[in-house]
Amino acid sequence: MIIYLNGEFVPKEKAVVSVFDHGLLYGDGVFEGIRAYYGRVFKLGEHLDRLYEGAQALCLKIPCSKDEMREIVLETLRRNKLRDAYIRLVVTRGPGDLGLDPKKCHRAFVFCITASIVLYPDELYEKGMSVISVSTRRNIPTACIPRVKSLNYLNNIYAKMEANLAGMPEAIMLNNEGYVAEATGDNIFIVKNGVLITPPSSAGILEGITRNAVMDLAREKGIAVVEKLFTMFDVYTADEVFFTGTAAEVIPCINVDGRIIGDGVPGEMTRELITAFHELTKADGPFIYPGGSA
């Protein structure tokens, strides 16, 4: 495995970060999880936009342009001879001292990993999964901005720990007002009376790239899409529930907190959007290799 490490391509054994890096010491930095399918990098432009917007919100200057970062991603895939992959692109605040002050970090640090990821077993995509809601609340925007995909993921990890202790693969997090926000690593959708509903950004969510792609696909199919606040009652009484995320893609939920959702099987709209999403991954994004082939 070859890793891009701050201007160099190195074997993973030599891909090291300073113990004084504030990304390690304080979770100070931003990242993106990106997917490559069929020799193309899916929604790469959108991922880079979110990365740079998050860095802007953190006053973190990324030491290369978007075009240069795009080439870093593509070249890392080429060096590893990959056509289908999971990509982790990370920008840390860089090395500093043991204090919190980001001004002590003089240059951001960039690395890119290309590998594979399996978040859920295939069976759950076919039959749907059971999940729970948890007591851990999503970060409030005035404390730690949820729309920034930062390296500080303890909020999500607390919720994931609750899911693990309950023997569940995933968990639904509420915001501080009790409205549904998102899962520990995915966005949530419900279907009610033919309408596709998802929480708005004001609910304290990270606006997912897959989330937005699924919303666009639904609108293209003539499905009404609404972003609005809703509670766990609305989840329990929904006709369908599913999660979306770069690693998860689109995965149905058929049981939430012991309540059977709909008929207890993945719903028609969910299946339709899964198919449409898979088709989109074949056609979207820049080619990794010249001519579009390996």
pLDDT one-digit tens code per residue, 49-69: 999 999 999 999 999 999 999
* Residue 149 is a catalytic residue: yes
Rounded CA gap, 135 and 173, in Å? Answer: 7
pLDDT at 292 (0 to 100):
74
Reply yes or no on whether the pLDDT at 167 is more than 60.
yes
pLDDT one-digit tens code per residue, 258-281: 999 999 999 999 999 999 999 999
Task: Judge contact between 51 and 149, C-beta under 8 A.
Answer: yes
Among residues 280, 282, 252, 284, which one has the least CA distance to residue 268? 252
Residue 293 lies in a domain: no
Q: Are residues 108 and 23 in the same domain?
A: yes
Residue 273 belongs to a domain with what CATH number? 3.20.10.10
Q: Are residues 130 and 23 in the same domain?
A: no
Q: What percent of the chain has pLDDT over 70?
A: 99
Residue 141 lies in a domain: yes
Amino acid at 132: I
Q: Are residues 127 and 270 in the same domain?
A: yes
**CB contact set of 275 (below 8 Å; sequence gap of 6+):** none
Q: Are residues 158 and 14 in the same domain?
A: no
Rounded CA gap, 183 and 173, in Å? Answer: 6
Residue 227 lies in a domain: yes
Residue 93 lies in a domain: yes
Reply yes or no on whether the pLDDT at 293 is more than 70.
no
Active-site position among 66, 104, 149, 192: 149
Residue range of the domain that includes 102: 2-115
Reply yes or no on whether the pLDDT at 294 is more than 60.
no
Q: Domain end: 115, 136, 170, which one?
A: 115
Residue 66 belongs to a domain with what CATH number? 3.30.470.10
Q: Domain end: 89, 115, 141, which one?
A: 115
pTM of the model as a whole: 0.94
Residue 287 lies in a domain: no
Buried residues in 112-123 as b, exposed as e (16+ CB within 10 A): bbbeeeebeeee
Among residues 266, 264, 250, 278, which one has the least CA distance to residue 37? 278
Q: Are residues 9 and 137 in the same domain?
A: no
Mean pLDDT in the chain? Answer: 96
Residue 288 lies in a domain: no
Residue 294 lies in a domain: no
Q: Are residues 188 and 53 in the same domain?
A: no
Q: What percent of the chain has pLDDT over 90?
A: 96
Q: Are residues 145 and 254 in the same domain?
A: yes
Q: Domain end: 97, 115, 133, which one?
A: 115
Q: Are residues 131 and 268 in the same domain?
A: yes
Q: Are residues 139 and 238 in the same domain?
A: yes
Task: Judge contact between 109 and 17, C-beta under 8 A.
Answer: yes
Residue 292 lies in a domain: no
Q: Are residues 144 and 199 in the same domain?
A: yes
Averaged pLDDT, 283-292: 91
Q: Are residues 228 and 129 in the same domain?
A: yes
Domain count of the fold of the chain: 2
Q: Are residues 68 and 185 in the same domain?
A: no
